[in-house]
C-alpha cells in the first residue's frame, strides 16, 4: 500500500511538474511573441519616423532651394535695374550736354530742307529760346522759306519741338525724347549684358 501511495504521489508530482512546465512554456511563448510584436511595432514606428523625417528634409531642401533661387532672381533684378538706371542716367546727362545751341542750329537747318515752304512753330526751353531767337527768325526761317513762330516751353529742358500745321505734324528733338529713343535701343543690350554677366 505504501508503494501505491508513493506511486500516486510521484504521479501527482509528475503531472504537476508537467503542468507547470507547460504553463511556463506557454507564458514564455506568449512573452516571446509579445516581445517580438513590441520590437516589430517599434521598428515600424522608427521606419515611419525616418521616412517622415526624410520627406520633411527633402521638402525643406526644396523650399530652401526655391527661396534661394527667388532671392538670386531678386538680387539680379535689383542689380540690373540699378545698372539700367545708372546707364540711362548717364545717357540722359550726356544728351543734355550734347544738345548745345550749335548742334540745335545744325539739326534745325537739316529739318528746314525737309519741310521747306511750310510755316513752323519752334518750341524751346526759355534759355535756348533767348539764345536761338535770332537764328530761328533769321537763317532757319530763310532756309525754311515760310513763317516761323518761336515759343518757350517750360516742359522742355534741352532741345526743341518743331511742329507744322498747328501741331498736326511735329518733330520731337528734346532731351527727353532723344534719351527715350536711345534707352529703348539700349535696354535689350543692357539686359543681354546682365544675362551674360550672370552666366559667367
Q: pLDDT tens-digit profile of 70-127?
A: 766 666 566 556 656 655 565 556 666 777 889 888 989 888 888 888 899 999 989 8
Tell me the backbone φ, ψ of residue 170, rounded to 5 degrees. -150, 155
Q: What is the pTM of this model?
A: 0.51
C-alpha torsion sign, points 61, 63, 64, 66: positive
Alpha-carbon distance values, 175 to 29, 102, 150, 198 (Å): 98, 15, 18, 32
Q: pLDDT value at position 91?
A: 58
Which long-range contacts (C-beta less than 8 Å, at least 24 apart) are formed by 15-19?
none
Q: Give the H/E segment covering residue 144.
A: helix 141-144
Cell of residue 99, nine digits: 544738345
Q: How confident is the model at residue 27 (pLDDT cuts 50, 70, 90)?
A: confident
Amino acid at each position: 500500500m505504501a508503494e501505491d501511495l508513493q506511486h500516486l504521489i510521484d504521479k501527482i508530482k509528475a503531472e504537476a511538474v508537467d503542468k507547470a512546465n507547460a504553463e511556463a512554456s506557454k507564458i514564455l511563448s506568449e512573452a516571446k511573441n509579445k516581445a517580438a510584436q513590441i520590437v516589430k511595432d517599434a521598428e515600424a514606428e522608427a521606419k515611419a519616423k525616418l521616412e517622415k523625417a526624410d520627406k520633411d528634409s527633402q521638402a525643406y531642401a526644396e523650399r530652401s532651394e526655391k527661396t534661394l533661387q527667388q532671392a538670386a532672381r531678386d538680387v539680379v533684378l535689383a542689380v540690373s535695374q540699378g545698372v539700367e538706371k545708372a546707364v540711362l542716367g548717364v545717357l540722359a546727362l550726356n544728351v543734355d550736354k550734347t544738345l548745345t545751341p550749335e548742334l540745335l542750329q545744325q539739326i534745325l537747318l537739316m529739318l528746314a530742307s525737309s519741310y521747306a515752304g511750310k510755316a513752323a512753330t519752334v518750341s524751346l526751353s526759355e534759355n535756348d529760346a533767348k539764345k536761338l531767337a535770332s537764328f530761328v527768325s533769321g537763317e532757319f526761317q530763310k532756309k525754311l522759306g515760310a513763317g516761323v513762330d518761336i515759343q518757350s516751353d517750360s516742359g522742355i529742358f534741352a532741345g526743341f519741338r518743331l511742329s507744322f500745321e498747328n501741331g498736326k505734324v511735329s518733330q520731337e528733338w528734346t532731351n527727353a525724347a532723344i534719351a527715350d529713343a536711345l534707352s529703348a535701343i539700349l535696354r535689350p543690350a543692357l539686359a543681354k549684358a546682365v544675362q551674360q554677366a550672370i552666366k559667367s
